[in-house]
Structure 1
Amino acid sequence: MKTVTLIGKPGCHLCDVARDVVVRVCEEVDAAWEEKDINQDPELYRLYWEQIPVVLVDGAQHDFWRVDPERLRSALTA
């Protein structure tokens, strides 16, 4: 089973939209997902602060800013 990680922050509209896409696609393909707050992890902040929301699939960066549901679905079912 693949795991999707959504990296964002509270109050981020794009993060809210990305979360909706991640939840929906993960439910469809039976993938696990988790969310991390960029403000709580200095390393994530250093790596991704200009790109949030960021989506990782199994630890590798998949998307940032906007999450394409078809592209995410393809990555999770490949």
Structure 2
Amino acid sequence: MSRAHVELLTRAGCSICQQVYGRLAELAAELEFDLSATDVDAAAAAGDTALRAEFGDRLPVVLLDGREHSYWDVDIARLRADLAER
């Protein structure tokens, strides 16, 4: 089975986004998932407006394997449980 992928949807200047990314980076080492971040405004400027349209009003958003997992913060207990079930 491949490693889980966690993506954080964010935007420049979002201090909460930076805090959430830090928590996720710590968890990535412990729980062995791949982590990336996507700036929804930069993606929209590059032509992909879908992420900003869907998630832009509640950033940061945590996606687990491409599906919304939590927003505004990391639901650590739920993330642990969902990764264990993979």
Could you state the TM-score of these two structures normalised by the residue count of structure 1? Answer: 0.91
- Which has the higher Rg, Structure 1 or Structure 2? 2
Displacement of 1:2 in angstroms is: 0.6
Is 1:50 the counterpart of 2:57? The answer is yes
Look up the SS of the partner of 1:5 in the other structure: strand
**Count of residues in Structure 1 that have an aligned counterpart in Structure 2:** 78
Q: Distance in 1 between matches of 2:19 and 2:84?
A: 22
Q: Which amino acid aligns with 1:36?
A: T
Aligned partner (choices 2, 5, 20) of residue 3 of structure 1: 5
Could you state the TM-score of these two structures normalised by the residue count of structure 2? Answer: 0.83
Aligned partner (choices 71, 74, 78) of residue 78 of structure 2: 71
Aligned partner (choices 28, 49, 59) of residue 26 of structure 1: 28
Q: Distance in 1 between matches of 2:34 and 2:51?
A: 20
Aligned counterpart, 2:15? 13
Q: How much identity, in percent, do the aligned residues show?
A: 28
Runs of 4+ in 1 over 4 A off after TM superposition: none
- Aligned residues: CA RMSD: 1.1
